[in-house]
Structure 1
Amino acid sequence: MLVKEWARLEGLHPQTVWKWCRQGTMPVPVEQTPTGMWLIHDPKYETASQPSPAGSRTVCYARVSSGGRKGDLQRQADRLKAFAVGMGVEHPEIVTETGSGVNGNRRKLNRLLADPTVGTIIVEHRDRLARMNMGLVESALKAQGRRIIVVDDTELDDDLVRDMTEVLTSFCARLYGRRGAEHRAEKALEAMRDARV
């Protein structure tokens, strides 16, 4: 179980739990994965937190926004596989995909979500699965006895900017036509960056 999840269940602040993990003063067994992530093995919750039926599959889902990031995609898949093996999954499946996190036109992800034999989906970051409405996806899967495990809950700014550019380009194309849409979207992002400074 992840630190944030255990801290929430125990009514503690996650920073306190991370500190205990680093100091070796946790009241329950912990383990640090090769990527540096802490996993908590609390018998009180581990048996209850395995809602996936016997024989269900665990799938690691890796995604990047563009084809120019294929190297990142492979490294992401390798980290997910190491995390799954660290969790005790013997043969985790790896599904990789290239596409925007904003739209729902990702065939491989749609197949995973529709497949009832997939009990657990592991993603590196929340935005790798979906940029928007992630809570809805989690709720729908939870109602079916399935779950999503997010390895690292921090956001990736460069992918967020790229997705924001895609959304702005789409809106500009509707307003001003395709020809100048990308240029206008870039100008809008530049204005936002200047306003932050």
Structure 2
Amino acid sequence: MKLPDYAKAIGISYTTAWRWWKANKLPHPARQTESGLIIVDYSPPAPSIESKKNRVAIYSRVSSSENKDNLNRQSERLTEYAIANGYQIVRNVKEIGSGLNDHRKQLETLLQQDDYDILLVEHKDRLARFGTHYLDVLLVRLGVKLEIVNLTDNGQDELMQDLVAVVTSFAARLYGERPAARKIERIIAELKNGESECS
């Protein structure tokens, strides 16, 4: 199959496939024709009960657009890992957003899909900063295995950014609750005054 078709079949970009070809890192045999066309000896596996168990969705995430290069490298590492394990890549999702943000559109869309059996992430904090265990429990109920490639702690810089975001969020809520509490107290007082005037 042609290199662009191969890239699409295994869930990577054409640029990544071309870079792998140049570095002689393609996981499948390939050759170049006289016209310059790169042909990869790869046939997608026919669907079977066994191959269905190996359908994988890759999820990569970084906290800011400044780390976009890291996002692409993360996705490439996971793709290589999936291929080495014989997984059939059905989705390869990349997202920029905080691990504390519980409204990440790409992740929401991915979690609503039912065409994969393994959710593959590099570190557990790529999926979420908190509550990864609960996501794992829910995924198991849906018949999806959460596979975390690297179980060691991730970088401290992003963790510090998340800590600042948590403190800022709680401070905003705390100071926002005070006027709300006063407003509720005024409403209760007005209701009590209304009752006393009626009696």
TM-score class, shorter: 0.5 to 0.7
What SS class does the counterpart of residue 131 from structure 1 fall into? Answer: coil
2:167 corresponds to which residue?
Answer: 168
Q: Deviations along 1:94-152, whole A, 9 cap, x unmatched?
A: 11000111121101111111112221110000000011111111111111211111000
8 A contact 1:53–1:119 mirrored in 2 = no
Aligned to 1:59: 57
Give the 5 Å matches for 1:3-152. 54=52, 57-91=55-89, 93-152=91-150
Q: Which residue of 2 aligns with 1:155?
A: 153
Give me the TM-score of the superposition, normalised by structure 1. Answer: 0.59
3-state SS of 2:93 partner: strand
Unaligned runs of 5+ in 1: 1-33, 35-50, 178-197
| Residue range with higher mean Cα deviation, 55-64 or 145-154 | 55-64
Q: 1:95 to 1:116 in 2, by over 3 A?
A: same
Q: Give the residue type in structure 2 aligned to 1:73.
A: L
Partner Cα distance (1:137, 1:116) in 2: 15
Instruction: Name the CA distance, whole Å, in 2 between partners of 1:149 and 1:103.
Output: 21
Give the TM-score normalised by structure 2: 0.58
* Counterparts of 1:52 and 1:68, CA distance in 2: 40
Could you tell me the percent identity over the aligned residues?
38
Deviations along 1:69-90, one digit per CA (max 9) or x if unpaired, are 1111111111111110111124
- Following superposition, the deviation at residue 155 of structure 1 comes to 1.7
Quick one: structure 1 residues 172 and 114, their matched pair in 2 at CA, closer, same or farther if it must change by over 3 Å? same
1:56 and 1:82 map into 2 onto residues whose CA distance is: 15
User: SS of 2:52's equivalent?
Assistant: coil
Q: CA deviation at 1:174?
A: 3.5
Report the secondary structure of 2:94's partner residue. strand
- 1:63–1:73 CA contact under 8 A, matched in 2: yes
Alignment check: 8 A CA contact 2:90 2:115 kept: no
Question: Matches of 2:106 and 2:50 in 1, distance apart?
Answer: 21
| C-alpha deviation, 1:58, in angstroms | 1.0
Displacement of 1:56: 7.0
